[in-house]
Amino acid sequence: MEIILSDLQIPNFPVYSEPIKANRKTTSIKDRPVIVGFGPAGMFAALELIDYGLKPLIFERGKKIEERSVDVQKFIKEREINPESNIQFGEGGAGSYSDGKLFSRRNNNSSYVNRVLKTFIKFGAPEEIGYISKPHLGTDVLRTIVRNIRSYILERGGEIYYGSKMTDILISEGKASGIIINGEKEYLSSSIYIALGHSARDTFEMMHEKGVAIEQRPISVGVRIEHPVETINLMRYGDKYKDFPGLGAAAYSLNYTNRKIQRGVYTFCMCPGGEVINASSNQGMLVLNGMSYSHRSSAFSNAALVVTCRADDYKSTGPLAGLEFQKDIERKAFDAGGGRWEAPAQNLMDFLGESSSVGLNKNSYKMGTVSADMKDIFPAFVVEELLAAFNKWKEEVPLFVSNHAILLGAETRTASPVRIKRNEKLESVNIKNLYPIGEGSGYTGGITSSAADAIKAVEINVSRFIPC
Ligand X SMILES: Cc1cc2nc3c(=O)[nH]c(=O)nc-3n(C[C@H](O)[C@H](O)[C@H](O)COP(=O)(O)OP(=O)(O)OC[C@H]3O[C@@H](n4cnc5c(N)ncnc54)[C@H](O)[C@@H]3O)c2cc1C
DSSP for 222-263, please give it: EEEEEEEHHHHHHHHHHHHHTT-TT--S-----EEEETTTTE
Closest CA to 305 of 232, 236, 220: 220
Cβ atoms of 292 and 271 within 8 Å: the answer is yes
Task: Kindly tell me which of 150 and 404 has the beta carbon lying closer to ligand X.
Answer: 150
Q: Which of 291, 383, 406, 455 binds ligand X (CB under 6 A)?
A: 291
Instruction: Provide the CA 375 distance to its chain's centre, in angstroms.
Output: 26
Torsion of CA 224, 265, 137, 63, to 10 degrees: -60
Q: Are strands 255-258 and 220-228 parallel, antiparallel or unpaired?
A: unpaired
Query: Is 184 strand, coil or helix?
Result: coil
Under rule CB under 6 A, residue 62 binds ligand X: yes
Under rule CB under 6 A, residue 337 binds ligand X: no
Task: Kindly tell me which of 298 and 448 has the beta carbon lying closer to ligand X.
Answer: 448
Task: Kindly tell me which of 289 and 412 has the beta carbon lying closer to ligand X.
Answer: 289
Please report how close the Cβ of residue 92 comes to ligand X at its closest, in angstroms: 7
Stretch that binds ligand X, among 70-78, 92-100, 207-215, 398-406 (CB under 6 A): 92-100
Stretch that binds ligand X, among 25-33, 351-359, 437-445, 456-464 (CB under 6 A): 437-445
Sign of CA dihedral 71, 75, 80, 85: positive
Stretch that binds ligand X, among 59-67, 260-268, 353-361, 379-387 (CB under 6 A): 59-67
Task: Kindly tell me which of 68 and 332 has the beta carbon lying closer to ligand X.
Answer: 68
Stretch that binds ligand X, among 16-24, 125-133, 246-254, 446-454 (CB under 6 A): 446-454
- What is the footprint of ligand X within residues 125-154 (CB under 6 A)? none
Q: Which of 269, 276, 336, 367 binds ligand X (CB under 6 A)?
A: 269
d(CA 222, CA 410): 6
Under rule CB under 6 A, residue 178 binds ligand X: no
Q: How many residues does the chain have?
A: 468
Under rule CB under 6 A, residue 325 binds ligand X: no
Under rule CB under 6 A, residue 272 binds ligand X: no
| Non-local CB neighbours of 45 within 8 Å, separated by 6+ positions | 35, 56, 193, 195, 437, 454, 455, 457, 458
d(CA 1, CA 374): 29
Task: Kindly tell me which of 234 and 410 has the beta carbon lying closer to ligand X.
Answer: 410
Angle between helices 40-51 and 139-155 (to 10 degrees): 30
Please report how close the Cβ of residue 76 comes to ligand X at its closest, in angstroms: 13
Task: Kindly tell me which of 218 and 392 has the beta carbon lying closer to ligand X.
Answer: 218
Please report how close the Cβ of residue 133 comes to ligand X at its closest, in angstroms: 15
Stretch that binds ligand X, among 6-14, 37-45, 242-250, 321-329 (CB under 6 A): 37-45
Under rule CB under 6 A, residue 61 binds ligand X: yes
Please report how close the Cβ of residue 62 comes to ligand X at its closest, in angstroms: 4
SS (H, E, C) 197-226: CCCCHHHHHHHHHCCCCEEECCCEEEEEEE
Under rule CB under 6 A, residue 207 binds ligand X: no
Please report how close the Cβ of residue 142 comes to ligand X at its closest, in angstroms: 9
CB atoms within 10 A of CB 218: 15
Q: Which of 165, 263, 296, 421 binds ligand X (CB under 6 A)?
A: 165
Extended beta strands in 122-219, E state: 159-162, 166-172, 175-181, 185-188, 192-194, 214-216
Q: Are strands 369-371 and 343-347 parallel, antiparallel or unpaired?
A: parallel
Q: Which of 60, 71, 168, 427 binds ligand X (CB under 6 A)?
A: 60
Under rule CB under 6 A, residue 446 binds ligand X: yes
Closest CA to 287 of 98, 196, 413, 203: 413
Q: Which of 75, 97, 325, 365 binds ligand X (CB under 6 A)?
A: 97
Please report how close the Cβ of residue 303 comes to ligand X at its closest, in angstroms: 11
Compute how many residues bind ligand X; rule: CB under 6 A.
43
Task: Kindly tell me which of 50 and 383 has the beta carbon lying closer to ligand X.
Answer: 50
Closest CA to 301 of 398, 400, 221, 205: 400
Please report how close the Cβ of residue 141 comes to ligand X at its closest, in angstroms: 12
Residues lying near ligand X in the complex (CB under 6 A):
36-42, 59-62, 87-90, 93-95, 97-101, 165-166, 195-197, 200, 203, 269, 277, 279, 289, 291, 438-440, 445-448, 450
